[in-house]
Amino acid sequence: MTDSLGYRRKFAVVAPSTNTSVQPEFDAMRPRGVTNHFGRVHIPNDPIRNDDDFNQLMVNIRSELLRAIDRVMTCEPDYLVMGMSSETFWDGLEGSIALKQRIENHAGVKVAMGSDACQAALRRYPGVKRLGVITPYMPVGDDQVRRFLCDCGFEVVRLKGLKCASPVAIAHVSERQLRDAIVEVDGDDVDAVLQVGTNLAMARLAAIAEFWLDKPVLAINTATYWWALRQNGIEDRMDGFGSLLAEH
């Protein structure tokens, strides 16, 4: 029988337990007949002061990821969405492909990942090659994002790592701070601005910035949810989240 509310698609979403941005942003982009069902990857809100702390955060995520997937899969979703991004960029394009295969084999359904979504979204804009990138990460995480994008044929002209002090603190970055970061990484030598890190709440701001800068400004939550919809044959257009959801 078809789910009464999720009669078009029922999405399972996994996100860190500390993430308070991805769920409201995904829900704001949800078309009628699609439902989002969150499973939480249990991690502590430990301080992040340096690369070693960030690497420990990744260890914490990896140790709990499959258990979180197992829990949310009991609602029998049609599709799985990764509401977390750092792990999807790790070890470049090759690592991303391997992670996707491992998750799909484990879950038994197809998965949308932030890494795939970002490159797919960027390719919707002809001529986009040179990027300004914003992350909430420490340098070790920034290096993984840069490596993935370069593997995909893009050039990272400037990257701003916000070095957020804890997983929860990522969601405390204000739109003014994100605005300043956009200005910092933008320039005449940049074709598009890309923000990664699903706990940075930038979906609304990206659409505003895109209008003023007259170039693509892509927030990873928008890109990931757009990719999940399009991969499931859902072509609904939506205003308020930038050109990606409105036009592609």
Q: What is the pLDDT of residues 137-160, one digit of tens each?
A: 999 999 999 999 999 999 999 999
User: Which pLDDT score is estimated for 158?
Assistant: 98
Residue written as token pair 């036009």: 247
User: Which pLDDT score is estimated for 1?
Assistant: 73
3-state SS of 37-101 is EEEEECCCCCCCCCHHHHHHHHHHHHHHHHHHHHHHHHHCCCEEEECCCHHHHCCHHHHHHHHHH
Surface-to-core class of residue 189, CB atoms within 10 Å of its CB (0-12 exposed, 13-18 middle, 19+ buried):
exposed
Residue written as token pair 């990138």: 133
| Neighbouring residues of 145: CB distance < 8 A, sequence distance ≥ 6 | 89, 133, 135, 137, 156, 159, 196
Average pLDDT over the chain, rounded to an integer: 98
CA nearest to 219, candidates 169, 182, 247, 190: 182
Q: What is the pLDDT of residues 21-53, one digit of tens each?
A: 999 999 999 999 999 999 999 999 999 999 999
User: Which pLDDT score is estimated for 226?
Assistant: 98
Q: What is the pLDDT of residues 9-26, one digit of tens each?
A: 999 999 999 999 999 999
Predicted confidence (pLDDT) at residue 86 exceeds the cutoff of 80: yes
Instruction: Supply the DSSP string of 200-216, one letter for each residue.
Output: S--HHHHHHHHHHHTS-
Delineate the domains of the chain, giving CATH numbers in brackets.
Answer: 9-115+222-238 (3.40.50.12500), 117-220 (3.40.50.12500)
- Look up residue 84 and give its two tokens: 């977390």
> Where would I find the H helices in 130-202?
139-151, 175-185
CA nearest to 158, candidates 178, 182, 175: 182
Predicted confidence (pLDDT) at residue 233 exceeds the cutoff of 90: yes
For helices 114-122 and 92-107, the axis angle rounded to 10 degrees is 120
Is this model's pTM higher than 0.85 or not? yes
Q: What is the pLDDT of residues 63-80, one digit of tens each?
A: 999 999 999 999 999 999
Long-range CB pairs of 55-61, under 8 A, 24+ apart, other chains included: 55/140, 57/86, 57/167, 58/86, 58/87, 58/90, 61/16, 61/86, 61/87
Q: What is the pLDDT of residues 209-222, one digit of tens each?
A: 999 999 999 999 99
Predicted confidence (pLDDT) at residue 103 exceeds the cutoff of 90: yes
Q: In angstroms, what CA-CA distances link 186 with 138, 191, 211, 238?
A: 20, 8, 14, 26
